[in-house]
Amino acid sequence: MTALTMHRPVTKPHQKNPTPLRIPSTEVLHNLREVEIDHEGRIYRLRITQLNKLILTA
């Protein structure tokens, strides 16, 4: 497993809407078509569709 390559612009603490963390999908999926994500005990599936779109389902 590789370390995540994260891109987050520097924001000031008083900014109301800081730019969200951006992670390349290849880092999340590790060259797979589908991964499971455990969030507070609930399993979600993140997958690439036939049209090369991402879909997250519970």
Give the domain ranges of the chain. Answer: 25-57
Q: What's the confidence (pLDDT) of residue 38? A: 97
Say which CATH architecture domain 25-57 belongs to: Ribbon (2.10)
In contact, 54 and 25? CB cutoff 8 Å: yes
pTM: 0.66
Q: What is the pLDDT of residue 35?
A: 97
What the block records as the tokens of 51 is 């049209």
**Residues counted in the chain:** 58
Separation between Cα atoms, residue 46 and residue 36, nearest integer Å: 6
Whole-number pLDDT of residue 1:
44
Each residue of 18-57: pLDDT tens digit? 899 999 999 999 999 999 999 999 999 999 999 999 999 9
Antiparallel, parallel or unpaired: β 42-48 and 54-57: antiparallel
Q: Binning pLDDT at 50, 70 and 90, where does residue 7 land?
A: low
**Cα 22 to Cα 27, 39, 50, 54, distances in angstroms:** 11, 19, 23, 15
pLDDT band at 17 (very low <50, low <70, confident <90, very high): confident
